[in-house]
Structure 1
């Protein structure tokens, strides 16, 4: 899969906010992603499953471009990527895209602002239940199923009880999840 310098910079800038600082949280996140991509729960992610998952996230990629890269991580006589193979592919992509050339300032505040923007789809400075539900749906998470469940998620972090999450509430919530590694 060929990626030009401009695409690499865009990918780095847009994705760096999702790199967690704690290795144990990264492992949990990666396992969750693997499980979401493994649609038939057979313990493998096929090229087709990965292509479909990327497409649902709005990252349409030509399967013929993906196939050689992904297949290079699949062990002989296996039908797809096992979790260990997926983790190795992830590490390689992470090193390729983020090793020393990230254009962000690296601060946690900046990372949180970028993450907040992903959820604040209309740019009004707040995350509504509908916006949260839209992002959860794009990620294929079952929590997105019923708006009442999503509203409960909002209420759980809405400290000023206005029915939506502002940046400070989002930041407080994320700081309990993102634990810097030492």
Structure 2
């Protein structure tokens, strides 16, 4: 794009901004899009993006945000369609981290995938005890503004759906199996 500016959204790059496993990254990016698309119309407006960033504690200046994403919004649209959001994500990733390198070594890819899943697991495991409790899951869902975060009964249903050893919480292996099944279903 002509006259592209460097993104002003992130002051400090996060190593988990772009997952190294393409299938997990695609699933994650789609989920982020759906979370940010507050009214479910298939587009993320600058206001919806600002609201989502605020809820995540990553508030951004609305003028900077608008300047960064306006070039990605297609003519006639009010916000970013999913394809536009993918392009923005890719551009931000390249600007912050350089070109994405994809390795051919399957063992290395699996190891990187596990590292990415560990990072994701830590987001939910707020107390660092190696388990995601119902309270921790509810807290994260509430921070994201998801309706499931308001109902402990719904949170318990979510836990039970992946809790193979029936201890009432999700360990890393259960989390990893759940994430892999999501990646396979969406491929």
> Does the residue aligned with 1:22 lie in a helix, a strand or coil?
helix
* Partner residue, 1:89: 88
In structure 2, which of residues 2, 8, 12 is the aligned counterpart of residue 2 of structure 1? 8
Deviates more, 1:82-91 or 1:48-57: 82-91
Q: TM-score, normalised by structure 1?
A: 0.76
* Partner residue, 1:74: 73
Structure 1 gap segments, 5+ residues each: none
The structural deviation recorded for 1:135 is 1.4
The question of whether the paired residues in 2 share the 8 Å contact of 1:47 and 1:66 is answered with yes
* Partner residue, 1:21: 22
Q: TM-score, normalised by structure 2?
A: 0.75
Structure 2 gap segments, 5+ residues each: 1-6, 102-107
The question of whether the paired residues in 1 share the 8 Å contact of 2:9 and 2:65 is answered with no
CA distance in 1, matches of 2:30, 2:80: 13
CA distance in 2, matches of 1:161, 1:40: 36
CA distance in 2, matches of 1:54, 1:87: 17
Alignment RMSD: 3.0
The structural deviation recorded for 1:174 is 2.3
Deviations 1:49-86 (A, max 9, x none): 11111111221112122111111112344322233322
CA distance in 1, matches of 2:164, 2:170: 8
In structure 2, which of residues 140, 152, 155 is the aligned counterpart of residue 150 of structure 1? 155
The question of whether the paired residues in 2 share the 8 Å contact of 1:21 and 1:178 is answered with no
* Partner residue, 2:3: none
Deviations 1:93-149 (A, max 9, x none): 2333344589xx862221121111111001111110011111122223333231111
Deviates more, 1:124-133 or 1:107-116: 107-116
> Does the residue aligned with 1:45 lie in a helix, a strand or coil?
coil
Total equivalences in the alignment? 171
* Partner residue, 2:116: 111
